[in-house]
Amino acid sequence: MGMHLILLCLMLMKASSTSANGDGDGDSGCPLGSDTYQYSCPEAEAIIFSWVEQAISQDSRMAASLLRLHFHDCFVNGCDASVLLDDRDDFVGEKSAAPNLNSLRGFEVIDAIKSELELVCPETVSCADILATVARDSVVLSGGPAWEVKMGRKDSISASKEAANNNIPAPNSTVDVLLTKFQNVGLNLQDMVALSGAHTIGKARCSTFSSRLQSSSDSSDVNMQFIQSLQQLCSGEDNTNKVAHLDLATPATFDSQYYVNLLSGEGLLPSDQALVNGNDHTRQIVETYVEDPSAFFDDFRYSMVKMGSLGSSTQIDGQIRRDCRTINLPN
């Protein structure tokens, strides 16, 4: 989808965006809005989209990586770009936290976007807004739904490795654990199932689904042919860097195939398959998305706006970083 099409989509949504998705203001002291950069940096969204389009054309996996950056940011003290801060001698960021270390990708794409934006409109567009926008653009460029990204986030001046370790859902989580982590940040069960659909694109390392490899044929809800294919992929001593598609059927297309896979026992991560095997309510939502893919798209865009609005105290005392990897130093 070209930039003119996504802008058309956003214009149509802006004209009709009222109560359907809420106002997206979140709980921060600085409400998010639709026209934040209308005058201060009107080219912002076009610049971001161009870089995302280029990155995905070179590496289709980058769509999932950029989407994941936004998730991992928002689950730790709100959407404040704390995930982008590098460790330094006197500062511990979140990149070395267990869910992020040797796992998160796409930082160089954010760097490129920020560099151009700083040339065009210095100290105007926050890194947190960049993350929210690249997430949307990655979904659209992969065939998924568009939504209007509310803008006006501030960048944090702190980070929390501890919160990253504790707050981000793990790939082996049960439904109860998943739900607790989503509820802890202000999201509900419906949001959890809808946002899990982000796993319709991307890849995961063998280590993240190792417990799936131990599944027994004694259970009627285990797809042993699928499990055996994973065992073969991850066999051998050096399987650390081996990866599998989260959605084997349409790995680079944002669609509802992820949920179809779950019903046939082909969820890659234990936390994915648990949505069908571990809870009747979540299974019912999965079945709804299989029967009506448009319902998934509607719920996903709603939950992305909701997640993207998660705020924190940094929205009040934050800043607009000149370099997304480091906090601005006093002049």
Closest CA to 116 of 52, 69, 59, 65: 52
Q: Considering Cα of 282, then 256, then 135, then 174, what sign does the dihedral take?
A: positive
CATH superfamily of 182-306: Peroxidase, domain 2 (1.10.420.10)
Q: Are the C-beta atoms of residues 30 and 316 closer than 8 Å to each other? A: yes
Q: What is the pLDDT of residue 24?
A: 38
Q: Answer yes or no: same fold for 43-168 and 182-306.
A: no
DSSP structural state of residue 75: T
Angstrom distance (rounded) from CA 15 to CA 79 = 25
Q: What is the pLDDT of residue 22?
A: 39
Annotation: CATH topology of 43-168: Peroxidase; domain 1 (1.10.520)
**Cα–Cα distance list, 6 to 53, 117, 139, 145, 150 (Å):** 12, 20, 11, 10, 15
pTM: 0.90
Angstrom distance (rounded) from CA 139 to CA 307 = 15
Strand duo 243-245 + 203-205: pairing: antiparallel
Closest CA to 307 of 114, 143, 153: 153
Q: What is the pLDDT of residue 316?
A: 73
Amino acid at 161: K
DSSP structural state of residue 212: G
Each residue's pLDDT tens digit in the chain (331 positions)? 455 545 544 444 444 343 333 343 334 345 688 788 999 999 999 999 999 999 999 999 999 999 999 999 999 999 999 999 999 999 999 999 999 999 999 999 999 999 999 999 999 999 999 999 999 999 999 999 999 999 999 999 999 999 999 999 999 999 999 999 999 999 999 999 999 999 999 999 999 999 998 876 666 678 999 999 999 999 877 777 899 999 999 999 999 999 999 999 999 999 999 999 989 999 999 999 999 999 999 999 999 999 999 985 456 779 999 999 999 988 7
How many of the other CB atoms lie within 10 Å of CB of 104?
A: 18
Q: Where are the beta strands (DSSP E) in 134-239?
A: 203-205
47-76 residues labelled b (16+ CB within 10 A) or e (exposed): bbbebbbebbeeebbbbbbbbbbbbbbbbb
Angstrom distance (rounded) from CA 279 to CA 190 = 13
Provide the residue ranges of all domains of the chain, joining segments of one domain with +.
43-168, 182-306
Is 72 labeled as catalytic in the residue annotation?
yes
Structure tokens at 259: 């949920």
The CA radius of gyration of the chain, in Å to the nearest whole number, is: 19
Known binding-site residues equal 73, 76, 78, 80, 82, 94, 169, 199-200, 247, 250, 255
Candidate list 4, 70, 72, 245, residue with the active-site label: 72
Q: What is the pLDDT of residue 239?
A: 76
**Cα–Cα distance list, 216 to 26, 211, 226, 248 (Å):** 44, 11, 12, 21
Closest CA to 255 of 223, 290, 282: 290
- Judged by DSSP in three states, 188 sits in coil
Known binding-site residues for substrate equal 169
Known binding-site residues for heme b equal 199
Please provide residue 191's backbone torsions phi and psi, each rounded to the nearest 5 degrees. -60, -40
As a residue count, the chain comes to: 331
Q: What is the pLDDT of residue 1?
A: 47
Angstrom distance (rounded) from CA 208 to CA 202 = 13
